[in-house]
Amino acid sequence: MLKVNLWEVRTAKGLKLEAVAVMTGVSKSTLNNIENGKTSPTLANLEKIAKGLGCRISDLYDSEYK
């Protein structure tokens, strides 16, 4: 079961979506769609988010095929 952890990582850092959008260059609506499971994040956006939040791409998801 694929799980995306963006909401957990963002809230653990006490950040609002607006701040993450600025820090990562990924739009607030895309971040919101990822958090709500409406869209599956692209690898390119996962890298931007990891870079912007100072974490690893692997921190942002869980999968038995990780």
Q: Minimal distance in Å, beta carbon 41 to its own copies?
A: 5
Q: Does 7 bind its own copies (CB under 8 A)?
A: no
What's the CA gap between 3 and 26, in Å, rounded? 19
**Pick 11 or 42: Cβ nearer its own copies:** 42
Taking every pair of C-alpha atoms in the chain, what is the biggest distance, in angstroms? 31
For residue 4, the SS3 value is strand
**Pick 2 or 12: Cβ nearer its own copies:** 2
**CA angle 8-43-14, nearest 5°?**
20
Residue ranges that bind its own copies, judged by CB under 8 A: 2, 4, 39-47, 50-51, 55-58, 61, 63, 65-66
